[in-house]
Chains A and B, each alone.
Chain A
Amino acid sequence: MIVENNVADGHFGEYGGRFVPEALIGALNELENAHISSQKDPAFLSELAELHRTYTGRPSIITEVPRFAEHAGGARILLKREDLNHTGSHKINNVLGQVLLTKRMGKKRIIAETGAGQHGVAAATAAALMGLECVVYMGEEDTRRQSLNVARMKLLGAQVVPVTSGSRTLKDAINEAMRDWVTNVADTHYLLGTVTGPHPFPTMVRDFHKIIGEESRTQVLALTGKLPDAVLACVGGGSNAIGIFHAFIPDAGVRLIGFEAGGDGVETGRHAATISGGSPGVLHGTRSYVLQDENGQTVESHSISAGLDYPGVGPEHAYLHDIGRAEYRAINDNQAMEAFSLLCKTEGIIPAIETAHALAGAMIIGKEVGPDATLLINLSGRGDKDVQTAAQYFGIPL
Chain B
Amino acid sequence: MSTSLDRLFEKVRTENRAALIAYIPAGFPSIEGCNKAIKALAVAGVDAIEIGFPYSDPVMDGPTIQEAADISLKAGTGAHDVFAALKTASDCGVASVVMTYWNPIEKFGVDKFAQYISDNGGSGVITPDLPIEESTQWLVATDKYDINPIYVLAPSSSDERIGKVTSKTGGFVYAASVMGVTGARTSVSVNARDLVSRIRATTSLPVAVGLGVSTREQACEVAGYADGVIVGSAFIKLLLNAQSESDGLHAISELAKALALGVRESR
Binding site for B on A (CB under 8 A): 1, 3-7, 17-23, 25-27, 165-166, 171-172, 175, 178-179, 182-186, 281-285, 290, 292, 294-298
When A22-B176, A26-B156, A297-B73 are in contact, do A284 and B57 touch as well, CB less than 8 Å? yes
Q: Between A and B, how many residue pairs show CB distances below 8 Å?
A: 124
Q: Across the A-B interface, give the 10 residue pairs with the lowest CB-CB distance, nearest first.
A: A296-B107, A23-B154, A296-B104, A178-B59, A183-B180, A296-B103, A297-B56, A282-B103, A298-B56, A26-B156
Best-surrounded residue of B60, B78, B128, B153 (most CB of chain A within 10 A): B60
- Contact partners of A298 in chain B: CB under 8 A: 56-57
Return the chain B residue nearest A184 by Cβ.
B179
Determine how close the nearest CB of chain B comes to the CB of A146; give it in whole angstroms. 22
Distance, CA A25 to CA B152, complexed state (A): 12
Stretch at the interface among B11-19, B130-138, B245-253, B254-262: B130-138
**Nearest CB of chain A from residue B187's CB, rounded to whole Å:** 16
Given contacts A183-B179, A295-B107, contact A20 B78 (CB under 8 A): no
Of A7, A171, A175, most buried by chain B (CB within 10 Å of CB) is: A175
Q: Are B129 and A21 in contact (CB under 8 A)?
A: yes
Task: Considering the complex, give the chain B residue whose CB is closest to the CB of A282.
Answer: B103
**CB < 8 Å neighbour of B70 from A166, A178, A185:** A166
**A17 near B103: Cβ-Cβ < 8 Å:** no
Question: A290 touching B103 by the CB < 8 A rule?
Answer: yes
In the complex, whether B106 has a CB less than 8 A from a CB of chain A is yes
What are 6 contact pairs spanning A and B, CB under 8 A?
A3-B140, A22-B154, A182-B60, A183-B181, A285-B129, A294-B78
- CA A171 – CA B57 in complex, angstroms? 8
Tell me, rounded to whole Å, the shortest Cβ–Cβ distance linking B168 to chain A. Answer: 8
Could you tell me the distance in whole angstroms from the C-beta of B4 to the nearest C-beta in chain A?
A: 20
In the complex formed, the residue of B with least CB distance to A179 is: B181
Contacts of B152 in A (CB 8 A): 21-22
Are A182 and B179 also in contact (CB < 8 A) when A295-B78, A298-B56 are? yes
In B206-247, the 8 Å CB interface with A consists of none
Q: Which of A1, A171, A184 has the most CB of B within 10 A?
A: A1
Which chain A residues lie closer than 8 Å to B134 at the CB level?
6, 17-19
User: Which residues of chain A have C-beta atoms less than 8 A from B176's C-beta?
Assistant: 21-23
Q: Chain A residues near B128 (CB, 8 Å)?
A: 21-22
**Minimum distance in angstroms from A39 CB to a CB of chain B:** 22
Which residues 52-92 of B sit at the A interface, judged by CB distance below 8 A? 55-60, 62-63, 66, 70, 73, 78-79
Q: Is the CB–CB distance between B157 and A22 below 8 Å?
A: yes
Least CB distance, A197 to chain B, in whole angstroms: 11
Per the CB 8 Å criterion, the residue count for chain B at the interface is 46
Shortest distance from the beta carbon of A28 to any chain B beta carbon, whole Å: 10
With A23-B179, A171-B57, A175-B59 already in contact, the answer to whether A3 and B108 are too (CB < 8 A) is no
- Whether the Cβ atoms of A281 and B106 lie closer than 8 Å is yes
Tell me, in angstroms, the Cα distance from A118 to B152 when the chains sit together: 36
B161 interface residue (CB < 8 Å to A): yes
Contact B161 A25, beta carbon cutoff 8 Å: yes
Cβ contact within 8 Å between B139 and A1? yes
Residue of B nearest to A21 (CB): B60
Interface check B158, CB cutoff 8 A: yes
Say yes or no for B145: interface residue by CB 8 A criterion.
no
> Is A17's CB under 8 angstroms from B133's CB?
yes
Q: Please measure, in the bound complex, the distance between the C-alpha atom of A181 and the C-alpha atom of B108, giving whole angstroms.
A: 29
Cα distance A295–B78 when bound, in Å? 6
In the bound complex, do residue B131 and residue A3 qualify as a contact, i.e. CB atoms below 8 Å apart? no
**Which residues in A have their C-beta under 8 angstroms from that of B158?**
26
Within the complex, what minimum Cβ distance (angstroms) separates A127 from chain B?
23
Instruction: Report B10 CB to chain A, min CB distance, Å.
Output: 21
B105-157 contacts to A (CB < 8 Å): 105-108, 128-134, 136, 139-140, 143, 151-157
Kindly report which residue of chain B lies nearest to residue A23, judged by CB atoms. B154
Q: Is the CB of A22 within 8 A of B131?
A: yes
Pairwise interchain contact A182-B181, C-beta atoms closer than 8 A: yes
Given contacts A6-B136, A182-B60, A22 and B153 within 8 Å (CB-CB): yes
A residues near B101, Cβ cutoff 8 Å: 282
List residues of chain B with CB within 8 A of the CB of A182. 59-60, 179-181
- Contact indicator B79/A295 (Cβ below 8 Å): yes
Known: A3-B140, A6-B136, A281-B107. A19 touches B102 (CB 8 A): yes
- CB contacts (< 8 Å) of A294 on chain B: these are 78, 107
- Of all chain A residues, which has the CB nearest B133? A7
Given contacts A19-B102, A23-B180, A290-B103, 13 further A-B contacts (CB under 8 A): A4-B136, A7-B133, A19-B129, A22-B152, A23-B155, A26-B158, A166-B57, A166-B70, A179-B60, A179-B180, A281-B107, A296-B108, A297-B73
